[in-house]
Structure 1
Amino acid sequence: MRNGGRRFGWRWVVVALGLALLVALPVVVAALPAGDRDTSAAELRARVLASTDQPFSGYAISTGGLTLPVSDALTPVADLLSDQTTMRAWYRGETDWRVDVVTATGETGTHRDAAGTWTWDYADQRASRGSAPDLALPTAPDLLPSALGVRLLSEATDAELSRVDPVRVAGRDALGLRYTPADEAASVSAVNVYVDEQTGLPLRVVVRSADTTIPALDTRFLDLDTATPTAATTAFSPPADASISSDRDLTDVDLGRGDRAALPDVLAGLTRRSFDGVPAQIGVYGSGITVLSVTPLPGRSSQGLRAQLAATPGAVVDDLGVRITSGPLALMVAGTSQRQGGGGVYLLAGTVTLDALGAAATDLQNGTGTS
């Protein structure tokens, strides 16, 4: 037992030294000139979307610049968006990969296979099995540049794309692509995606909002190898003595009971759309990176959340409800309970402006739009 503890300690000393060297590496290579190519913005986006078959392994680091007032249940999400997350990734394909999150106190690995995911907490020897649902809260693997770049560019139009100067990322030439959302409701001012010239893999993604010079999110590879990892590296079977549980997904969330007014087809000028896995009570509006979700809130939870948002510096409190922003993310509790003669209480959340939240709340209050 004592020897095992000593090996554990030395292991993390080695990891810490390795990460320190990797973090320092981009400072050196960034000084080298980056090669550019005569590639159009639309062509570069197409290369990004085609990169999901490209195998790789490497270290990545994600830095969030947001501060969200959330409950304990959403603390892991808030940490992802406000802190620094260090990841080691091995990717063989869309349903065969592994991402380890390394912290000062331990390591947690997520393994993807054809049936879902395994999450393994090395320190607690605890495994959890997930089904990889269509609707889920973001986790560390979602912040890898390779995954985030594809997701953010998937609905960008040619008119919203432009080229920017190349940079060096992880020792590679990375071609610059900028996505500037055209919708007036957008709170994201620009997304820069830096793409590996050889493979089309996004190597760095920087998300900015108009009201701050600090990026809302900056995720990049520090080191990258495009050789195919071995199957044994990504595979996982829980040890016989491990504690095993099942992950909850968002379809398990209690949205309350009772009739509510049907959500309209349009809110704040954004068109409602449907996604696999989204419960019928939730409305999703917008496209690309400009998205607004509307979720009915049970009365027992809406009061506490309303008070929590109202106590946030910069909160707007008026007859429509209470709304806040943190970088490009916006949250609002709108409406009144049916017991008080209202049409229901809703949580509005998305990458839209405060004005867009107010307009959406007004539409809900007035029952405008076509249901």
Structure 2
Amino acid sequence: MTAWAHGAVRRWAVVGALVGVLVGLPAVVAALPAEDADVPAARLRDAALASGSVGHSGYAVSAGGLSLPVTDRLTRVADLLSDRTTMRVWWRGPDEHRVDVVTAAGETGVHRDPGGTWTWDFETLTAARGEPASLALPAPPDLLPAPLGRRLLSEAADEELTRIGARRVAGRDALGLRLEPAEEAASVDRVDVWVDRATGLPLQVQVVAEGARTPALDTRFLDLDLAVPAASVVAFTPPPEAFVGAAPDTADLVAEAGRRAGRLPLPLELAGLGRRPLEGVPAAVWAYGRGVTLLAVASVPPRLAGGLRAAMRSSPEAVTDDLGVRLSAGPLGLMVVDVPRGGAYVLTGTVTLDALAAAAAALPGAAP
């Protein structure tokens, strides 16, 4: 072997060692002891809810374990909630931030401003403009630990919260907060949120379904800088060579049903959950529950429910009876209820299969 070859081997050995150190560094940092603090659970929740204005940037990763039925409407959502998603975030505030989703094929950036969002595909040079929607399919920015943690804690009652110690997340001391929903219909066993001791920023969120040992969703920061990013990094203007268009309609099956289906008077309570109004949601979509225990119901035409029903029935874990077909994916329940005179109901939410059946039996015209 020549001297040059020996040098090349040594150089690549050094590169390999550095890569090994970088890959192992998060685990090493996480293993360092975290300093706990005597902060009551309710006060820690309040600190997390007030952290929306905390500027930061960094890397985050989300790992989902939900096996959703795949249809032409749910493919992206199924991938998002069942795969590993790596994200870079620059956060100036709830209405001014940027999230880049990093994949083997490239990056897709979502730039939020007060008027809406720009979605920029680096590979295809395509920019799409969208407006904020009250009811839309989940997107990668929704799985960032900070906004997700705030959303899940937003209606948590004091008696549902307990402290669970501390750990190191992204090299910072994070105080543990556990939410155990009180509703009997809940399919979520617990939500663990690890909150930055200094700022209240949620750094890690784990959602565990009833009876499960591993989280159905685990999202966390790997690296975090608490400096406010520059406005120029977050802002977006389509470059001259970009193809610019409107963002595709991301409304899910329930939202489309709400625009096209008739308005039926549904019960004020289903499966022990009271109805709740949601601003901006179509009138034909009814929502029930509180906190992390939610149920959405809509009456839909047969064509809209057909693809979803077929995809659900292909799962060996689907339950089919006189009411329709229902399926659970971790804490998420989904049901299509047939109506004898035509049409169907779609029910979805973080409730058990028994709760879905009880709700379906109470729907007008749905009981056998």
**Given the two structures, how large is their TM-score scaled by the length of structure 2?**
0.90
Tell whether 2:361 aligns with 1:362: yes
**Number of the residue aligned with 1:277:** 280
Which residue, 334, 338, 361 being the options, matches 1:335? 338
Counting only pairs closer than 5 Å after superposition, residues 145-294 of structure 1 correspond to structure 2 as 145-247=145-247, 248-250=249-251, 253-255=256-258, 259=262, 261-294=264-297
**Number of the residue aligned with 1:349:** 348
Q: Is the 8 A contact 2:263 2:283 kept in 1?
A: no
Distance 1:209 1:20, change over 3 A: farther
Q: What is the alpha-carbon root mean square deviation over aligned residues?
A: 2.0
Q: Is the 8 A contact 1:25 1:222 kept in 2?
A: no
User: Following TM superposition, by how much is the alpha carbon of 1:21 offset from its aligned partner in structure 2, in angstroms?
Assistant: 6.2
Distance 1:367 1:18, change over 3 A: farther
Tell whether 2:88 aligns with 1:88: yes
Partner secondary structure for residue 362 of structure 2: helix
Q: Which runs of 5+ in 1 are unaligned?
A: 1-16
Q: Is the 8 A contact 1:256 1:298 kept in 2?
A: no
Once residues 18 and 142 of structure 1 are traced to their aligned partners in structure 2, the CA distance between those partners, rounded to angstroms, is 33
**Cα deviations by residue, 1:196-246 (Å, 9 ceiling, x for unpaired):** 001100000000012321211000000000001111100100012211121
**Number of the residue aligned with 2:43:** 43
User: Following TM superposition, by how much is the alpha carbon of 1:23 offset from its aligned partner in structure 2, in angstroms?
Assistant: 4.8
Identity of counterpart residues, as a percentage?
56
For these two proteins, the number of residue pairs brought into alignment is 348
User: Following TM superposition, by how much is the alpha carbon of 1:165 offset from its aligned partner in structure 2, in angstroms?
Assistant: 1.6
Q: Is the 8 A contact 2:336 2:345 kept in 1?
A: yes
**Cα deviations by residue, 1:94-119 (Å, 9 ceiling, x for unpaired):** 11110000001100000011111000
**Cα deviations by residue, 1:149-196 (Å, 9 ceiling, x for unpaired):** 000000000000000021100000000000000100000000000000
Once residues 115 and 341 of structure 2 are traced to their aligned partners in structure 1, the CA distance between those partners, rounded to angstroms, is 42
Residue range with higher mean Cα deviation, 295-304 or 184-193: 295-304
Q: Is the 8 A contact 1:149 1:193 kept in 2?
A: yes
Distance 1:45 1:20, change over 3 A: farther
One-letter identity of the residue aligned with 2:192: N
Distance 1:292 1:323, change over 3 A: same
**Number of the residue aligned with 2:327:** 324
Q: Which runs of 5+ in 2 are unaligned?
A: 1-16
Tell whether 2:142 aligns with 1:139: no
Residue range with higher mean Cα deviation, 155-164 or 257-266: 257-266
Partner secondary structure for residue 155 of structure 1: coil
**Given the two structures, how large is their TM-score scaled by the length of structure 1?**
0.89
User: Following TM superposition, by how much is the alpha carbon of 1:337 offset from its aligned partner in structure 2, in angstroms?
Assistant: 4.8
**Number of the residue aligned with 1:14:** none
Which residue, 286, 301, 305 being the options, matches 1:298? 301
**Number of the residue aligned with 1:75:** 75
One-letter identity of the residue aligned with 1:313: P
**Number of the residue aligned with 2:108:** 108
Distance 1:95 1:261, change over 3 A: closer
Distance 1:48 1:311, change over 3 A: same
Partner secondary structure for residue 345 of structure 2: strand
User: Following TM superposition, by how much is the alpha carbon of 1:324 offset from its aligned partner in structure 2, in angstroms?
Assistant: 0.5
Distance 1:367 1:323, change over 3 A: closer
Partner secondary structure for residue 27 of structure 1: helix
One-letter identity of the residue aligned with 2:121: D
One-letter identity of the residue aligned with 1:157: A
User: Following TM superposition, by how much is the alpha carbon of 1:75 offset from its aligned partner in structure 2, in angstroms?
Assistant: 1.3
Once residues 178 and 270 of structure 1 are traced to their aligned partners in structure 2, the CA distance between those partners, rounded to angstroms, is 22
Partner secondary structure for residue 73 of structure 2: helix
**Number of the residue aligned with 2:310:** 307
Distance 1:19 1:132, change over 3 A: farther
User: Following TM superposition, by how much is the alpha carbon of 1:29 offset from its aligned partner in structure 2, in angstroms?
Assistant: 1.0
Distance 1:304 1:31, change over 3 A: closer
Once residues 23 and 362 of structure 2 are traced to their aligned partners in structure 1, the CA distance between those partners, rounded to angstroms, is 48
Q: Is the 8 A contact 2:258 2:283 kept in 1?
A: no
Once residues 258 and 303 of structure 1 are traced to their aligned partners in structure 2, the CA distance between those partners, rounded to angstroms, is 15
Partner secondary structure for residue 31 of structure 2: coil
Q: Is the 8 A contact 1:255 1:298 kept in 2?
A: no
Once residues 20 and 349 of structure 1 are traced to their aligned partners in structure 2, the CA distance between those partners, rounded to angstroms, is 43
Once residues 110 and 261 of structure 2 are traced to their aligned partners in structure 1, the CA distance between those partners, rounded to angstroms, is 38
Once residues 112 and 259 of structure 1 are traced to their aligned partners in structure 2, the CA distance between those partners, rounded to angstroms, is 34
User: Following TM superposition, by how much is the alpha carbon of 1:260 offset from its aligned partner in structure 2, in angstroms?
Assistant: 5.3
Q: Is the 8 A contact 2:54 2:201 kept in 1?
A: yes
**Cα deviations by residue, 1:77-97 (Å, 9 ceiling, x for unpaired):** 111100000000000111111
Residue range with higher mean Cα deviation, 62-71 or 206-215: 206-215
User: Following TM superposition, by how much is the alpha carbon of 1:249 offset from its aligned partner in structure 2, in angstroms?
Assistant: 4.2
Once residues 19 and 295 of structure 2 are traced to their aligned partners in structure 1, the CA distance between those partners, rounded to angstroms, is 37
Partner secondary structure for residue 346 of structure 2: strand
One-letter identity of the residue aligned with 1:318: D
